[in-house]
C-alpha cells in the first residue's frame, strides 16, 4: 500500500522568521541552568533533521558536569561562549555507521512487507556507494566506472574515499545542529556554534569511536546582556543569489 501522509497543520511564517532572525551566536551566557525538558526537546528536534538516505551519521554528547565543561572550554581555545555556557553539546559525525544504520532501517521498517526498492537500496546500493575498500582501491574503480558511464547518461554521486564519506556525514550533522539551535531559540535560549577547538584534546575528554570526528561544539544557555558582540552583518543578496 502506498504511504500517504497529509500535510501538517498550517504554520506561522512570521513566528518562524522571528526565531531565525532572533538566533545569534551568543558569546556570553548567564548562570541560569537549562531545564532538562527544554534540552530534551531541542535534541529531539535535532534528531528530526533531514539527512542523507536517512542513515543518521551523528551523535550528540551533552556536557553538564562543571569540571568537564571547564576542560572542554579550554580545548575550545578558552572562548567565552564555552566558558560561560551551562550546557555544551559536542556534535560528532560518524563515517562507519552507515552499514549498521542501513540494516536498522530494514529491521525496524514500519510495515510488515518491505518495499522491493527499499530493500534493494539499503541492502545493495548503499553498500556500493559507501564501500571504498583498502586504500580506497574500490573507490578508484568506482570513479573509473562513473567517468565512463557518465559520458552517456547521468550517474548518481558515490563516495570514492573515506574523506568523501566524512564530508557526507558533516553535511547531515550540520543540518541537525541548525535544528538544535533554532529549537533553542524557540524555547528562548541561545546558542553559539564553535569550530575553534583542539580535536585531539576533545577526543581525550569525550570518549568516541575511531571513525568519529567532531563537527562542532555548541554552547547553550540564557543570553547575557552583553552576549552578542557586534551587529549582524550579511552581504548583499545579489552577491549570493542567482536565478537561472
Is 93:213 a contact under the CB 8 Å cutoff?
A: yes
Cα–Cα dist 228/222, whole Å:
12
Q: How far is CA 37 from CA 6, 56, 94, 125, in A?
A: 28, 23, 27, 39
Domain boundaries, the chain: 27-225
Rounded Cα–Cα distance for residues 16 and 183 (Å): 10
Query: How many whole angstroms separate alpha carbon 243 and alpha carbon 60?
Result: 37
Helix extents (H) in 28-161: 36-46, 66-75, 80-84, 98-107, 116-120, 126-130, 137-149
Burial class (CB in 10 A: 0-12, 13-18, 19+), 37: exposed
* pLDDT tens, the chain, 244 aa long: 677 889 999 999 999 999 999 999 999 999 999 999 999 999 999 999 999 999 999 999 999 999 999 999 999 999 999 999 999 999 999 999 999 999 999 999 988 789 999 999 999 999 999 999 998 898 888 888 888 777 888 877 789 999 999 999 999 999 999 999 999 999 999 999 999 999 999 999 999 999 999 999 999 999 999 999 999 999 999 999 999 9
**H/E/C letters for each residue in 75-108?**
HCCCCHHHHHCCEEEEEEEECCCHHHHHHHHHHC
Helix (H) or strand (E) holding 190: strand 190-194
Fold of 27-225: NADH Oxidase (3.40.109)
DSSP letter assigned to residue 123: I
Would you say the pTM of this structure is higher than 0.85?
Answer: yes
Amino acid at each position: 500500500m502506498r504511504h500517504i501522509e497529509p500535510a501538517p497543520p498550517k504554520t506561522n511564517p512570521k513566528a518562524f522568521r522571528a526565531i531565525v532572525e532572533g538566533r545569534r551566536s551568543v558569546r556570553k551566557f548567564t548562570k541560569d541552568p537549562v531545564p532538562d525538558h527544554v534540552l530534551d526537546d531541542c535534541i529531539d528536534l535535532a534528531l528530526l533533521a533531514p539527512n542523507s538516505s536517512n542513515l543518521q551519521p551523528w551523535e550528540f554528547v551533552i556536557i553538564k558536569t562543571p569540571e568537564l565543561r571547564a576542560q572542554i572550554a579550554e580545548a575550545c581555545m578558552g572562548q567565552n561562549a564555552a566558558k560561560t555556557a551551562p550546557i555544551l553539546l559536542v556534535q560528532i559525525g560518524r563515517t562507519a555507521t552507515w552499514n549498521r544504520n542501513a540494516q536498522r532501517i530494514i529491521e525496524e521498517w514500519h510495515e510488515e512487507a518491505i518495499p522491493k526498492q527499499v530493500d534493494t537500496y539499503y541492502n545493495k546500493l548503499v553498500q556500493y556507494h559507501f564501500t571504498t575498500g583498502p586504500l580506497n582501491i574500490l573507490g578508484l574503480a568506482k570513479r573509473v566506472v562513473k567517468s565512463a558511464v557518465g559520458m552517456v547518461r547521468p550517474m548518481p554521486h558515490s563516495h570514492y574515499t573515506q574523506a568523501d564519506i566524512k564530508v557526507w556525514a558533516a553535511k547531515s550533522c550540520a543540518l541537525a545542529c541548525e535544528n538544535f539551535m533554532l529549537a533553542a531559540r524557540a524555547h528562548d535560549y541561545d546558542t553559539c556554534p564553535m569550530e575553534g577547538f583542539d580535536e585531539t584534546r576533545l577526543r581525550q575528554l569525550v570518549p568516541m569511536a575511531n571513525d568519529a570526528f567532531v563537527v562542532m561544539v555548541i554552547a547553550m544557555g540564557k543570553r547575557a546582556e552583553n552576549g552578542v558582540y557586534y551587529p549582524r552583518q550579511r552581504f548583499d543578496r545579489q552577491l549570493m543569489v542567482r536565478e537561472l
